[in-house]
C-alpha cells in the first residue's frame, strides 16, 4: 500500500522535511545546538559538514556518544550548559510535546542564541488524531504502539502537548522574546495507522481530506516552526 499510495514517502519523511528547513538556515560558519539530541538515531539530524560546530543536550546520557555531535552534554532544556549568545541556530526534533514548562525552555533557548538567531522545531500538532489518542491513553500504550512500529521502548517518553498548536507557539514565542517567522502544518503518510489495511485506508482518507481542504489545515499532523530572536 505504501508503494501504491505514497511511492515517494521514505522512512521518517517528516524528519527529511525538517532537515531541509534546517539546512536552508545553515552556513559553514554556523554554531548549532541540537536540543534533545539523544543518541543520534535519526540520520536526518546529522548536519556534519553543514556547520562549523554542532553541540547537543539531552537528559539521556547517550547524548555524550551521539556520533552527529562535536560535543554532547547531559542537561535539561531549562538549564542549557552554555554561555549566553553561544549559537546561531537551535533545533528540536520531536521535543516540544515532552515539555512540561515550554516557556522556560524557550527563554533558555533565547538566552543561548545570538541576536537574530533562530530556533527551529518539529512537533506533533495537538489537533491531529494521533496526539488526541496519545492524551487519552496511558504511557504504556504508547510504548506498545512504538514497539509495534519498530521503535525501542526506551525511546518513548511521556508527553504533555503544551506547545503544540499555532496559537500556543505564538504565545510562548512572544513570552520568550521571539518573533514567529513561519509555522507549517503538514500531513503525509499515516505512519501510526500502517499496521492493518483497514486502519491504513482510514488514515489515507484522512490525509487526502485535510490536504484537499485548506479549512482543515489545522488538523494536519506535523507542525514545523521557525522563530527568530529579536536583535
CATH number at residue 154: 3.40.50.150
At residue 192, the pLDDT reads 85
Q: Confidence band (pLDDT; 50, 70, 90) for 147?
A: low
Q: What is the pTM of this model?
A: 0.90
> Which of 44, 169, 166 shows the shortest CA–CA distance to 119?
169
Choice among 23-27, 59-63, 130-134, 181-185 with the minimum mean pLDDT: 130-134
Is-contact 221 188, C-beta < 8 A?
yes
Is-contact 45 68, C-beta < 8 A?
yes
The yes-or-no verdict on residue 200 having pLDDT over 60 is yes
At residue 47, the pLDDT reads 98
| pLDDT over 90, % of the chain | 84
**Rounded to an integer, what distance in angstroms lies between the CA atom of residue 208 and that of residue 65?**
41
Average pLDDT, the chain: 93
Considering its fold, how many domains does the chain have in total? 1
**Rounded to an integer, what distance in angstroms lies between the CA atom of residue 188 and that of residue 84?**
38
Which domain does 87 fall in, by range?
A: 2-229
State residue 177 phi and psi, 5-degree precision.
Answer: 80, 25
Q: What is the mean pLDDT of residues 143-172?
A: 76
Other Cβ atoms within 10 Å of 148 Cβ, number: 11
Amino acid at each position: 500500500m505504501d508503494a501504491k499510495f505514497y511511492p515517494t514517502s521514505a522512512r521518517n519523511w517528516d524528519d527529511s522535511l525538517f532537515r531541509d528547513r534546517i539546512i536552508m538556515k545553515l552556513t559553514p560558519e554556523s554554531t548549532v545546538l541540537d536540543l534533545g539530541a539523544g543518541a543520534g538515531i535519526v540520520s536526518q539530524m546529522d548536519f556534519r559538514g553543514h556547520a562549523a560546530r554542532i553541540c547537543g543536550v539531552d537528559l539521556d546520557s547517550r547524548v555524550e556518544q551521539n556520533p552527529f555531535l562535536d560535543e554532547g552534554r547531559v542537561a535539561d532544556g531549562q538549564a542549557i550548559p552554555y554561555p549566553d549568545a553561544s549559537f546561531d541556530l537551535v533545533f528540536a526534533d520531536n521535543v516540544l510535546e515532552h515539555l512540561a514548562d515550554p516557556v522556560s525552555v524557550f527563554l533558555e533557548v533565547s538566552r543561548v542564541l545570538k541576536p537574530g538567531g533562530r530556533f527551529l522545531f518539529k512537533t506533533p500538532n495537538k489537533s491531529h488524531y494521533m496526539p488526541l489518542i496519545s492524551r487519552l491513553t496511558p504511557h504504556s500504550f504508547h510504548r506498545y504502539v512504538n514497539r509495534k512500529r519498530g521503535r525501542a521502548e526506551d525511546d518513548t517518553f511521556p508527553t504533555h502537548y503544551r506547545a503544540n498548536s499555532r496559537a500556543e507557539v505564538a504565545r510562548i514565542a512572544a513570552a520568550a522574546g521571539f518573533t514567529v517567522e513561519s509555522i507549517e502544518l503538514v500531513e503525509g503518510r499515516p505512519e501510526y495507522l500502517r499496521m492493518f489495511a483497514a486502519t491504513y485506508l482510514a488514515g489515507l482518507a484522512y490525509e487526502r481530506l485535510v490536504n484537499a481542504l485548506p479549512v482543515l489545515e489545522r488538523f494536519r499532523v506535523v507542525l514545523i516552526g521557525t522563530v527568530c530572536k529579536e536583535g
